[in-house]
Structure 1
């Protein structure tokens, strides 16, 4: 499939950066989770505000309502849309203005997830099925951060890529970003489908 062959080719071209970004994201996730297991109060510092966001009128409450009503298609669609918006507006668009800046948002998410999903509290077994969701959606954000890296590197080192100017490099980096988003979108779609099925059909049996 050409849509995926192009992202794969870009990943191969920048294999080291892709692997380092994966190591950084999942490494920070693991470290934050371990730290939260040692200091459970960290989760209590962040979790109430996030839980409250799902109760206030807005898109997150709409997502929660779709899950509660077991409306599969709506829940999948909203989950996918919210996660895609996060990738675009917190990682990709900022990096088109300030090179690489969106990578910080990706790494911050790894830390936050480690704190939020540390298996403490009355239902630690929930992490078992949810770990796959975190891996798939985490990979989507890593790919978005990787796209920010590719764009920034192309823009700042245009002579290395035999491009005539910074503007030509900026456009070439944007094209690479769009191509990588085929993989981002696929990962987010798979993640949304699994997350909804997991939340509706698996998690209730663990409560």
Structure 2
């Protein structure tokens, strides 16, 4: 290996080490009494039996990311199949967002990390999203039995739909960018005040933590 090649190798190695060191760690845990198929975009997916843990590293600068749980899945040996809720294109290793209804832990990793729990695509599993390091101590959660209390018009197999999914109107989906809470969005907000219940519900629903903070996502906390 000549000096030029060695220098390029050294630079690449240092850059790789820096990237790994700067990655944010997400400790994803299943405390449900049944199996959950965790989904992450980016990140893929993992089958988690009761008590199972998935340590996921996410690169700095990642935006529009989400972690969610899938229920009642069956996959073959190559990872193709289907889930009753949260299905992401019939794949164990998700390459896109999952289908509603699914409870979402959303995040963007920038100079400051923006985090939220979203019910804008409905609810299928209780979830907690909390920091485990850094100068951020408050977590957010949605743990009420929303499925058991779900309004008849929003019920779905294994979950509870957001009204936007069911009615697809501007009133519920905020397509024009000008909308407020509705009786149905208030149903979600009353039971999970930490979570987004409709698209403009951002005044009290976003958690901001400093860059470098690591996190834990727990299903059925």
Q: TM-score, normalised by structure 1?
A: 0.30
Structure number with the bigger relative contact order (C-alpha 8 A, sep ≥ 6) is 1
Larger relative strand fraction: 2
Q: TM-score, normalised by structure 2?
A: 0.29
